[in-house]
Amino acid sequence: MSIRHYDISFKITVLLSAILLTLPGCNGGSDVEPETTTTDTSSSDSATDSGNNGMSAGAPKTATDSQGRKSIDGIPYDVFFDDPLAVVAQQGTVAPSVPTGTPSVANNDTPTETPEPEPMPKEEPKAATIKWDNIIPMEYLDNEIKSIRNFLTPTLQSVGAYNREYKQIPMHGNTMAALAQVALAHPGDALWKDQAAALRDISYNMGSSADAPGRAGFEASSVQFENLLQIFNGSEPTLEEEPDPNLAFADKADRGPLMRRMEVAFNWLSSNTPTPAAFVDVKDKAMHETIILGALTQIVADESYLFADEPDYKNHINEMMAAVEQMRKGIDDGNHEIFREGVSTITKKCAECHTDYKE
């Protein structure tokens, strides 16, 4: 071995030894007995002193203590590799082992995982915050559902009957859907209330199916009507997907058909109560149409509809709701004059709202 080669080997050995000495279990007090060798240390010492092996005076010195343990320049012999160059070539940098139970140090270069955010609580539908029993008692809501069913039964008996009335089906279907949505948040009860979400979806689908005359529209609407009858008969309807009770009104009730039903109610009230005597004769029907008008006005105020969050739109809605309350009071008190004042206000507010938003 050349002096240069030996010198490099020795430096690597000392470097590795210094590293290992800093680790637990790598000192002279190790419980592992050092391996015995047949090397004659006295000969090595002599060779070193005489310089017969060609090494410089600064070369490491080997010694053996009274217990037979060898050391090189005071460093225990058992910490040296037999062939340090080979070890370095095979293993590269020697990584210290971590004793069991010792926490490891986190690598700052490794990005930490971002914890998943807490799920936001599901927002309660706005419909649930409205006192619907004050706006439309369940008796009136259920009666309107029955009235729509009575209209649909003969209308969907044949293609001819469907062709005569198909333009009315979207109005009735969307009205039933909207009232079924109200029923989900209403404290009152009805025989079909446990299926209100399904009733809403099926009614909406039926209203959307009646888009043209002919057998295709008739059959599509009839299939949905058969599902409605299953609900009214207490059976489970056939659904394409599980209904979501937390949808907004605009998801399953189009505003245009709802306003058509509002127009029907208003026109009836305006035409059939011209005098106090006529007003008394149609008192029950007048109350029903007034309550339906108020309920649909409150529904189209839902902010899921376009423009419904605008101040002017809200003002129109609020003034219409105040007029409906005035009309209800007039009916309860038998006061025709108060009732007609409410009708006049509705006429004015509808015209203003349509001017601002209808287009």
Q: What is the pLDDT of residue 300?
A: 97
**pTM of the shown model:** 0.66
Give domain limits for the chain.
3-27+40-91, 126-252, 256-357
Give the tens place of pLDDT for each residue, 209-231: 999 999 999 999 999 999 999 99
Which range, 14-23, 37-46, 264-273, is most confident?
264-273
User: 307-347: per-residue pLDDT in tens?
Assistant: 999 999 999 999 999 999 999 999 999 999 999 999 999 99
User: Residues 6 or more apart from 334 whose CB is under 8 A from it?
Assistant: 279, 280, 283
Residue 80 is predicted with a pLDDT of 54
Over residues 83-101, the mean pLDDT reads 50
Res 13 pLDDT > 70? no
- As a whole-number percent, the residues of the chain with pLDDT over 90 amount to 60
pLDDT at 194: 95
**Structure confidence by residue, pLDDT tens digits, 118-154:** 655 544 445 558 999 999 999 999 999 999 999 999 9
pLDDT at site 112: 57
Class of CATH domain 256-357:
mainly alpha
Q: Which of 43-52, 112-121, 180-189 has the lowest mean pLDDT?
A: 43-52
